[in-house]
Amino acid sequence: MDPTTDSAGRTGDPGAARAALETLRAEIAKAVVGQDPAVTGLVVALLCRGHVLLEGVPGVAKTLLVRALAAALDVDTKRVQFTPDLMPSDVTGSLVYDARTAEFSFQPGPVFTNLLLADEINRTPPKTQSSLLEAMEERQVTVDGTPRLLPEPFLVAATQNPVEYEGTYPLPEAQLDRFLLKLTIPLPSRQDEIDVLTRHAEGFDPRDLHAAGVRPVAGPADLEAARAAVARTTVSPEITAYVVDICRATRESPSLTLGVSPRGATALLATSRAWAWLTGRDYVIPDDVKALALPTLRHRVQLRPEAEMEGVTADSVINAILAHVPVPR
């Protein structure tokens, strides 16, 4: 198969890639109602070769959202339900003794896929959580001293519940920082909830996305062409300085004990470029930075306990910073 085409015969043209990704967002909407910002965030993460943490109360379609993305993409996908007894080798794979050859052979784990759904990632102990660190950062898994490359594209979409803390293991800052975006999945509006119930009354089955009409509409060739186009998106020195000023302001905020690192600033620049390209521009404007600041930075800051007791949130701190940092003209 030609490397510039995928299994559905799509070519890697940037214009066609943008159209395919727009269609992708519409295709996911066949299964998920009213979560357009989260869908857009997942597309941005794909363009930036990043990973996504989805946070929301039970029943707001976090898992369905990722499954719908996988169904609308022409890529391989696997799902891991994270539990307290899950071992690192259950994720990465392990050496298995083959009695026929009297040798050990590597049995790949579910991480060897294009789209990994890590369901309820905070239900597993830190040792197992950390098994994903190398995969997320280096895009490889090392077992018995041998590094093994993961497929491309590769994206981890992890879900967690923000209200149920008993029996969970909060992700450490080092692992949170590996996620490009943290997307909060809100409860639907009244009309969206009516639409959800109407679909179910008409026979929609969230376990059968094929019957719901969700089809692969984009593939690796589209992603490759889109990423190349995003890399050509112009960033002026003023925009670069604006991103730096926002991130430095988090380090000086009296409400925070931990501000955004330079890695976070790099992430904000990358997501802003991806969003600019998705909206049809080949250059970044301040509004692109503002649009992606919350999902890119909210998990990279840490509130002071006294600020948290007063009802201050990471989002409110970042919004206040965006309101005060001078916008380039």
Three-state secondary structure call for residue 104: strand
| Alpha-carbon radius of gyration of the chain | 20
Q: How does pLDDT run across 289-312, given as a tens digit for each residue? A: 999 999 999 999 999 999 989 989
pLDDT at 44 over 60: yes
Q: Using an 8 Å Cβ cutoff, are 119 and 82 in contact?
A: yes
The two tokens of residue 79 are 């799902």
- The pLDDT, as a whole number, for residue 102 is 78
Residue 174 banded pLDDT, cuts 50, 70, 90: confident
Q: Is-above-0.85 flag for pTM?
A: yes
Please count the CA atoms within 13 angstroms of the CA of 321 that sit on its side-chain side. Answer: 30
Query: In this model, does residue 1 exceed pLDDT 50?
Result: no
107-166 tens-digit pLDDT:
899 999 999 999 989 888 888 888 888 899 899 998 888 899 999 889 999 998 876 666
Rounded Cα distance between 132 and 229, Å, is 29
Q: How confident is the model at residue 206 (pLDDT cuts 50, 70, 90)?
A: confident
Percent share of the chain, pLDDT over 90: 50
Q: How far is CA 46 from CA 31, 93, 164, 188, in A?
A: 20, 24, 29, 25
The pLDDT value recorded for residue 4 is 44
Encode pLDDT of 59-90 as tens digits: 888 888 888 998 898 888 899 999 899 998 99
What span, in angstroms and rounded, lies between the C-alpha atoms of 54 and 132?
16
- The answer to whether residues 134 and 95 touch, using CB atoms and an 8 Å cutoff, is no
Distances (CA, A) of 152 to 118, 224, 227: 18, 10, 13
The DSSP output letter for 136 is H
Pair of tokens at residue 313: 């949130």
Distance CA 272, CA 275 (A): 5
On average, the pLDDT of the chain sits at 88
Question: What's the confidence (pLDDT) of residue 167?
Answer: 65
pLDDT digits (tens, 9 = 90+) for 224-233: 999 999 999 9
Q: Work out the percent of the chain whose per-residue pLDDT is above 70.
A: 95
pLDDT digits (tens, 9 = 90+) for 7-33: 444 445 778 888 999 898 889 988 888
